[in-house]
Amino acid sequence: MPNRTDQPPSKRRRLVHGLIWTGLAASSVAAGLAIGTGYAVYNAASRLPSFEDIKRSPRGTTLRFLANDGTVLHRTGPAYGEWLSYKAIPVTMRQAIIAVEDHRYRSHFGIDPVALARALHLAFANRDTDRRMQGASTITQQVARTIFLSRSYNIRRKIDEVIVALAMERKFTKNQILELYLNRIYFGGGAYGIDAASRRFYGHDATELSLSEAALLAGLPKAPSSYAPTADKEAALGRAGVVLARMRSTGQETSAPSKPKGLTFAKAHDPQLRTSSRHFVDWISPQVDQLAPGLSGNVDVYTTLSPTLQQASLDAIAAHTGKGQQAALVSLEEGGAIKAMIGGLDYATSTYNRVTQARRQPGSSFKLFVYLAALEAGYRPSSAVYDGPINIRGWTPHNSSGRYSGVIPLRTAFAWSLNTVAARLGQDVGTAKIANIAHRLGISTPVQRSPSMVLGTADVRLLDMARAYATVASLGRSVVPFGISRIEMNGQTVYERLDYEPQQIVSANNAADMVRLMSGTVDYGTGQASNFGRSAAGKTGTTNSGKDGWFIGFSGGIVTGVWMGRDDARPIPGMQGGRGPARSFADYMKVATKDRPDVITLSPLPASTGPSRPAYGRDTPTTITTQKSERPAESSPLPEAAISTPQATQPVVDRAPGRSRAIRPTD
Residue 218 lies in a domain: yes
Phi and psi, residue 493, nearest 5°: -70, 120
Question: In this structure, which long-range contacts are made by residues 256-264, counting pairs with CB atoms below 8 Å and at least 24 apart in sequence?
Answer: 256/211, 256/215, 257/211, 257/212, 260/212, 260/213, 260/215, 260/216, 261/212, 262/210, 262/212, 263/202, 263/212, 263/213, 263/216, 263/237, 264/202
Q: Which residue has the higher pLDDT, 75 or 460?
A: 460
pLDDT digits (tens, 9 = 90+) for 19-48: 666 666 666 555 555 565 665 776 777 788
Predicted confidence at residue 160, as pLDDT, reads 85
Predicted confidence at residue 267, as pLDDT, reads 64
Predicted confidence at residue 105, as pLDDT, reads 92
Query: Cβ contacts of residue 100 below 8 Å, gap of 6+?
Result: 218, 219, 222, 242, 243, 246, 247
CA 280 to chain centre: 5
Do the strands 338-342 and 492-496 form a parallel or antiparallel pair, or are they unpaired? unpaired
Q: How many residues does the chain have?
A: 667
Residue 96 lies in a domain: yes
Please determine, for residue 8, whether its predicted confidence score (pLDDT) is greater than 50.
yes
Number of domains in the chain: 1
pLDDT digits (tens, 9 = 90+) for 424-448: 999 999 999 999 999 999 999 999 9
Q: Domain residues for 209? A: 79-249
Please determine, for residue 645, whether its predicted confidence score (pLDDT) is greater than 80.
no
Q: In the predicted model, what is the mean pLDDT of the chain?
A: 84
Percent of the chain surpassing pLDDT 90: 58
Predicted confidence at residue 280, as pLDDT, reads 97
Please determine, for residue 209, whether its predicted confidence score (pLDDT) is greater than 80.
yes
Whole-angstrom Cα distance, residue 526 to residue 522?
7
Predicted confidence at residue 431, as pLDDT, reads 98
Question: In this structure, which long-range contacts are made by residues 371-374, counting pairs with CB atoms below 8 Å and at least 24 apart in sequence?
Answer: 371/410, 371/414, 371/422, 371/425, 371/514, 371/517, 372/437, 372/441, 372/472, 372/506, 372/510, 372/514, 373/425, 373/429, 373/430, 373/433, 373/434, 373/437, 374/410, 374/425, 374/428, 374/429
Residue 568 lies in a domain: no
CB 565 within 8 Å of CB 506: no
Residue 118 lies in a domain: yes
Mean pLDDT calculated for residue range 193-200? 92
Helix or strand (DSSP H, E) at 373: helix 367-376
Percent of the chain surpassing pLDDT 70: 79
Predicted confidence at residue 432, as pLDDT, reads 98
pLDDT digits (tens, 9 = 90+) for 158-168: 788 888 989 89
Please determine, for residue 204, whether its predicted confidence score (pLDDT) is greater than 80.
yes
Residue 240 lies in a domain: yes
Burial of residue 28 (CB within 10 Å: 0-12, 13-18, 19+) is exposed
| Cα-Cα-Cα-Cα dihedral sign, residues 623, 624, 628, 630 | positive
CA 592 to chain centre: 20
**Cα separations (Å) of 493 from 71, 296, 299, 487, 489?**
18, 13, 10, 6, 6
Q: Which residue has the higher pLDDT, 33 or 322?
A: 322
> 666 falls in which pLDDT band (50, 70, 90)?
low
> 609 falls in which pLDDT band (50, 70, 90)?
very low
Mean pLDDT calculated for residue range 221-239? 87
Please determine, for residue 459, whether its predicted confidence score (pLDDT) is greater than 70.
yes
Look at 117-121, 339-343, 365-369, 372-376 and tell me which has the smallest mean pLDDT: 117-121
> 11 falls in which pLDDT band (50, 70, 90)?
low
364-393 burial, b at 16+ Cβ within 10 Å, e below that, comes to: bbbbbbbbbbbbeeebbbbbbbbbbbbebe
Mean pLDDT calculated for residue range 119-142? 68
pLDDT digits (tens, 9 = 90+) for 329-369: 999 998 999 999 999 999 888 889 999 999 999 999 999 99
Residue 110 lies in a domain: yes
Predicted confidence at residue 601, as pLDDT, reads 61
Q: Which of 442, 456, 470, 441 lies closest to 331 in space, CA to CA?
A: 470
Residue 555 lies in a domain: no
Phi and psi, residue 461, nearest 5°: -100, 145
Whole-angstrom Cα distance, residue 97 to residue 217?
8
Q: Which of 282, 275, 283, 384 lies closest to 655 in space, CA to CA?
A: 384
DSSP characters over 439-490: HHTT--S----SGGGGGS-S-B-HHHHHHHHHHHHTTTB----B-EEEEEET
Q: Which residue has the higher pLDDT, 116 or 359?
A: 359
Predicted confidence at residue 71, as pLDDT, reads 92
Whole-angstrom Cα distance, residue 388 to residue 546?
24
Max CA separation in the chain (angstroms): 144
Report the CATH number at residue 180. Answer: 1.10.3810.10
Residue 664 lies in a domain: no
Predicted confidence at residue 35, as pLDDT, reads 67
Whole-angstrom Cα distance, residue 513 to residue 476?
11
Predicted confidence at residue 123, as pLDDT, reads 66
Please determine, for residue 659, whether its predicted confidence score (pLDDT) is greater than 80.
no
Mean pLDDT calculated for residue range 604-628? 32
Do the strands 79-80 and 191-192 form a parallel or antiparallel pair, or are they unpaired? parallel
Mean pLDDT calculated for residue range 222-238? 86
Predicted confidence at residue 600, as pLDDT, reads 82
